[in-house]
Amino acid sequence: MKRIENSYEIIIVGAGHAGCEAALASARMGLKTLLLTINIDKTALMPCNPAIGGLGKSQLVRELDAMGGQMGRAANRTLLQIKTLNSSKGPAVQALRAQIDKKEYEIEMKRVLENTENLILKQGTVEKIIVEGKEITGVALESGPVFQSKAVIIATGTFLRGRIIIGDKDYNAGRMGEYPSMKLTGSLKAIGFKTDRFQTATPPRIDRRTIDFKRLRLQEGDDKPVSFSFWDAEKIHENIPCYLTYTNKNTHKTIAENIEYSPIKSGMVDTHGPRHCPSIDRKVINFPDKTRHPIFIEPEGRNTTETYLQGLTTSMPAGIQQKIVNTVEGLEDARIIKPGYAVEYDYILPDQLNFTMESKIIQGLYFAGQVNGTSGYEEAAAQGFVAGVNASLKINDKEPLILTRDNSYIGVLIDDLLTKELFEPYRMYTSRAEYRLVLRSDNADRRLSEIGLKTGLISEEMYGSVKKRQKEINEVIEQFKYKKINPGSKVNKMLLNMNTSTIDGPTTLHQLLKRPEVGIDALISSFLKKGIAHDKKVLKQVEIEIKYKGYINRQLSEIKKLSGIEKYILPQEFDYFSISGLTYEAREKLNKVKPNTLGQASRIAGVSPADISVLIMVLKQRTGKTL
């Protein structure tokens, strides 16, 4: 028997969203890469919601896309509809959300992986990592083979000693029907890694044929869809709708009557679950006064009748789940195909990592995704990318890629993971980022494509298109600063037509565009006779840059002001749940901890600087007290 060469440069353990991005980044950077998964048929599977993006998460995907990640392109190619969220609000909180055909996403991502040079996808369950001294040297499979490598990226999702819970029943599984990885945690602990248990859950899937659509509100995607990716054109798609309905008093009564069966009450689950995506059981307990909660009804794909119930996450016994579903308007006859369930798994405490995602104690060993205590496909993909890039840079003896809070949401994500104590799986939202007027979903290419170019993950041509656009934006801004309008009856009439006040001295277009009510299109058609030779994307950026410049500066000074928060005493009888501007997580934490000072509040995991800003504002309104 010939000896088989089993040597790679980078090995990735797990082919979920973190593993796929890690593998693609490292293979595209020229490193010989092995991607291992327990079951190749489940590559890039989306085990929970059939959507990518959303508030905060959209920014992660766009940033990933700007640097040459795959998720944005894969989403764009397999979406059922796409929507700009918060389109009536400011650009900082706008986001894209795409409904995805899950099976098509798997096929697309696997196709891309399999056609990437230097990348081998292989089935195998990793039993242990192999180290020499303080350096990684490879992994061993449960089935025997040993693979050598210079770096290993652990991206095991919920599979480390995964345990599924429905009601009072449980069994070992990484996802429904799939056996977990029972041995790898032991190998990590033996080397000195600290681990803990987290829990996450997914709602029931129902049979589309049993839904009464007439009683639901239609939720269509945008008529004129934008591309999720900076590099792919908009996809012409069918705009398959979602629907909206609500829980009601009956739903809440049914849950309350059966609450002792909820695993969070019965003791079946004593690990921490995500507050941001709370189970309906928990929502009913925490918001007894709320008469209804929204339920979004989302297709799992074109070819299946299985339909996802966003907002109805529960791992109550299946029979009770069925009763709960049937209390909801339009779902009176709905039949569950897949009951919701919770899964509990090992994660490593992420304070054991550096900003590169490399572990502090073992050189060349990286962690990415849910195994670091995060939640969400987008958060996982972002970490996978950073780990893949950094593992490659290190092997090539190059400077690491360190993303920061002021250049990206990915930077915010990693900084939070490394510095805050996690009490539940971490997910991204806009309120976690203090520079969110700078870190927008729409300008991620301008912020980060240079990194993509330097790592070779985007081409010169792609980068050139971004630079060209940036140049055009600057030119138009200069043009707007230079172009003065002189007061006069004709000009003032035009201004009044724009529903804005008249001018009594020479005024630049730049000054006029700062007015909230004035749009760039109206200015151009009124005052630039020759029009302007730039496309809508450029003008949109000019408008945001000019209009919000003041807000951006003000936000920066707000953050400085936070240094006085230590002296600010908080009232002890205060209902934080009543402040709608706070994240759900922050409200729950503040109510629980009841901090003495704002400074203390700001150090509670789950309370972001943005939450503190909101708190200052609300306290000023209610108590008259200022910083």
Partner 1 sequence: MINKKDKQEYDVVVIGGGISGCEASYASSANGARTLLISINTDSIGYMAFENYILNAKGIAAAGKNIWDDLIIKNAARKNGIGLNNIKSTKKDNTSGMIVIDRKRQMINIKEIIENHENIETRQGLVVDIISKDGIYHTLINDGTVYKSKAIILAPGTFLDSKIFWGPYNIAAGRPGEIASRRLLRNLIRIGFKFKEVELYCGPRIDGRTLDLKKYIRNRESHKLNIIPEGKETNEFYIDGFKTANSEEEQLSNLREIKGLESVIMTRPGYGIKYNVLSPLQINKNLESKKFPGLFFCGRISGLLEYEYTAAQGYLAGLNAAKKTKK
Residue in 89, 132, 143, 563 binding partner 1, rule: CB under 8 A: 143
Judged by CB under 8 A, which of 144, 267, 531, 624 binds partner 1? 144
Q: What is the largest CA-CA distance in the chain?
A: 94
Q: Count Cβ atoms within 10 A of the Cβ of residue 187 and give its class: 0-12 exposed, 13-18 middle, 19 or more buried.
A: middle
CB atoms within 10 A of CB 294: 12
178 counts as binding partner 1 under rule CB under 8 A: yes
Which residue in 135, 176, 464, 501 binds partner 1 (CB under 8 A)? 176
- The reply on whether position 42 binds partner 1 by CB under 8 A is yes
| Distance between start and end Cα atoms, the chain | 76
Question: Based on CB atoms, which residue is closest to partner 1, 319 or 506?
Answer: 319
Query: Which window, 81-89, 115-123, 370-378, 527-535, contacts partner 1 (CB under 8 A)?
Result: 115-123
Stretch that binds partner 1, among 107-115, 232-240, 497-505, 527-535 (CB under 8 A): 107-115
Round to whole Å and give the CA distance between 273 and 347: 13
- 163-171, 462-470, 489-497, 499-507 -> range binding partner 1 (CB under 8 A): 163-171
Kindly tell me which of 208 and 534 has the beta carbon lying closer to partner 1.
208
335 binds partner 1 (CB under 8 A): yes
- What b/e string do you get for 440-473 counting C-beta neighbours within 10 Å, with b at 16 or more? bbbbbbbbbbbbbbbbebbeeebbebbeebbebb
Nearest residue (CB) to partner 1, 182 versus 498? 182
* Of the candidate residues 73, 83, 110, 394, the single one contacting partner 1 (CB under 8 A): 110
- Chosen residue from 7, 41, 192, 551 binding partner 1 by CB under 8 A: 41
Residues of span 182-211 touching partner 1 by CB under 8 A: 205, 207, 209-210
Q: Tell which one of 192, 319, 464, 550 touches partner 1 (CB under 8 A).
A: 319
Query: In angstroms, what is the minimal distance from the CB of 51 to partner 1?
Result: 17
549 counts as binding partner 1 under rule CB under 8 A = no
Site for partner 1 in 338-367 (CB under 8 A): 338-339
Helical packing angle, 377-395 and 17-28, nearest 10°: 30
Q: Which uninterrupted H or E stretch holds 342? A: strand 341-348
Using the rule CB under 8 A, give the single segment among 38-46, 441-449, 508-516, 537-545 that binds partner 1: 38-46
Residue closer to partner 1 (CB basis): 171 or 482 = 171
Alpha carbons 100 and 111: distance in angstroms, whole number: 17
Q: Does 213 bind partner 1 (CB under 8 A)?
A: no
Sheet with 135-141, edge to edge strand ranges? 126-132, 135-141, 146-148
CB atoms near residue 534 (< 10 Å): 17
Q: Residue 501, Cα to own-chain centre: how many angstroms?
A: 41
Task: Say how many residues touch partner 1, by CB under 8 A.
Answer: 53
SS3 sequence of 460-485? HHHHHHHHHHHHHHHHHHHHHHHCEE
Residue 329 engages partner 1 in binding (rule: CB under 8 A): no
Question: Any idea which residue has 């009594």 for tokens?
Answer: 504
Show the DSSP H helices in 361-434 as ranges.
Answer: 377-395, 409-419
Closest separation in Å from C-beta 115 to partner 1: 7
CB of 155 to partner 1, least distance (A): 16
Q: Any alpha helices (H) in 240-330, and if so which ranges?
A: 249-257, 263-266, 280-286, 318-326
Of the candidate spans 114-122, 452-460, 524-532, 553-561, the one that interacts with partner 1 by CB under 8 A turns out to be 114-122
Interaction between residue 406 and partner 1 (CB under 8 A): no
SS3 324: helix
Piece in contact with partner 1 (CB under 8 A), picked from 229-237, 314-322, 387-395, 400-408: 314-322
Q: How far is the CB of 198 from partner 1 (least distance, A)?
A: 22
Question: Backbone phi, then psi, for 548, in 5-degree steps?
Answer: -105, 0
What is the rounded CA–CA span in Å between residue 523 and residue 483?
A: 11
Tell me phi and psi for residue 331, to 5 degrees: -115, 20
- Give whole-number Cα distances, 15 to 143, 315, 373, 428, in Å: 18, 26, 17, 22
User: In the complex, which residues of this chain contact partner 1 (CB under 8 A)?
Assistant: 1-2, 4, 38-42, 103, 106-107, 110-111, 114-115, 120-123, 125, 142-145, 166-169, 171-173, 176-179, 205, 207, 209-210, 303-306, 317-319, 322, 333, 335-339
